[in-house]
Structure 1
């Protein structure tokens, strides 16, 4: 008997980027809630749910069985994209990990991405690492979202292979990689909240670095530049609120 699969707001947003009739992989699928939700909404969708840990893998198998989706969702135990066969899926979802880990999963499993025309990533931190990987590997950032749920702020990025115009401007590239080119264009209250918090954190980091006996001058310059960018953004917020 099928269950009513309820997704978090962030995973609902991730799911919204998948096309009808998708054949996608959800890497780090946990309980397989995302592939079950998508397959229950769209009878033409099929999925691979990949999980590295035995416990979540068993939970994913259980969820898929409860929803009678064994014929359409293949749950596999393995590390990252290693669970996939070559030229198998057309979309890849990696959600709920750090940006550096998402980047490493994509980089390590690059040979499995030949047939993948869309990647949807939801990094918990360091979205810049994911944007940079997309840029270096032929995936064009197509859209971004930022939202808050249960006290956490999440960014969601979707990119496709070389079919869209790049959102980046060469003279603003580093700034856009940090903040997100689409999020910079249409900042919302959650975006400003995130960068107020990041501004305070970076101020504290710089304060400690300045006190160090041996100073990393290059890093201090980089952080000061980023601090200035944050000040510009927060100034814009205050101006809009006047």
Structure 2
């Protein structure tokens, strides 16, 4: 069995049995290969834009004997699939803004897609808002730390979701409801940045500095309330 990271294994756990999946930004196709080895997927498209990883994915799929189940395609975002070709899409290892751009640019390719499994690196709030504004609701979420980096996994299916709760969009409605312990760690990191920014503003003069100070104080209060909630 292919040895993959914990993050990829967690993503794989959200791919339904028998899925026709597309892994966008597949790198060396480790996730589709892992799922194929487990007999968890009916087929996969491994999409990769960069030449080196694309060639590596081709070699990995061919050498492990899964060319009949995994198709490796070179292209940008959802351009590697056709409408109705897959029912699950995974995207990991990119910023939330980049994932939004990929989904927006290829939105017509989402026809027939039942589930999105996304692991944004930053701007997960913007990604959650995009999902809610485009007919997706969050089904499940995870947080984990791997190699001293914090990762989120967002699982979405078709449905309605409100996007007017800032805390829910920033920290995840399900993660907040679970009072996930890693939220407090994330808040502490943000509070540290605010503390440094406030110290820097002590030397600032004028209304612009005071306005920024008030914004930082409001943000600090919001984060402290979130931390108190998840630790209650």
**TM-score, scaled relative to structure 1:** 0.86
Which residue matches 2:62? 65
1:112-140 deviations in whole A, cap 9, x for unaligned? Answer: 11111111110111111110110110011
SS across alignment from 1:17 = coil
Tell me if 1:159 matches 2:132: no
- CA displacement, residues 120-166 of structure 1 (integer Å, 9 cap, x when unaligned): 1101111111101101100111111000011000000000001xx74
Shift of residue 187, structure 1, vs aligned partner: 2.5
- 1:190 is matched with 182
> Which SS does the other structure have where 1:57 is aligned?
helix
Paired residues for 1:82-231 under 5 Å = 82-162=79-159, 166=161, 168=162, 170=164, 173-205=165-197, 208=200, 211=204, 215=208, 223-231=216-224
Deviations 1:79-135 (A, max 9, x none): 111111122111110001111111111111111111111111101111111101101
Residue 197 and residue 17 in structure 1: after superposition, are their counterparts in 2 closer, same or farther (change >3 A)?
same
Distance across 1 between alignment mates of 2:83 and 2:211: 42
Stretches (4+) displaced over 2 A: 187-191, 202-227, 233-237
C-alpha spacing 1:103/1:214, structure 2 compared with 1 (3 Å): farther
SS at match of 1:19: coil
Query: In 2, Cα distance between the equivalents of 1:8 and 1:33?
Result: 10
CA RMSD of aligned residues (A): 2.3
Q: Equivalent of 2:227, from 222, 229, 234?
A: 234
Deviation at 1:174, TM superposition (A): 1.3
TM, length-normalised to structure 2: 0.90
CA distance in 2, matches of 1:24, 1:83: 12
Cα separation, 1, equivalents of 2:94 and 2:209: 29
Structure 1 residues not aligned, in runs of 5+: none
Structure 2: 5+ residue runs without aligned partners?
A: none
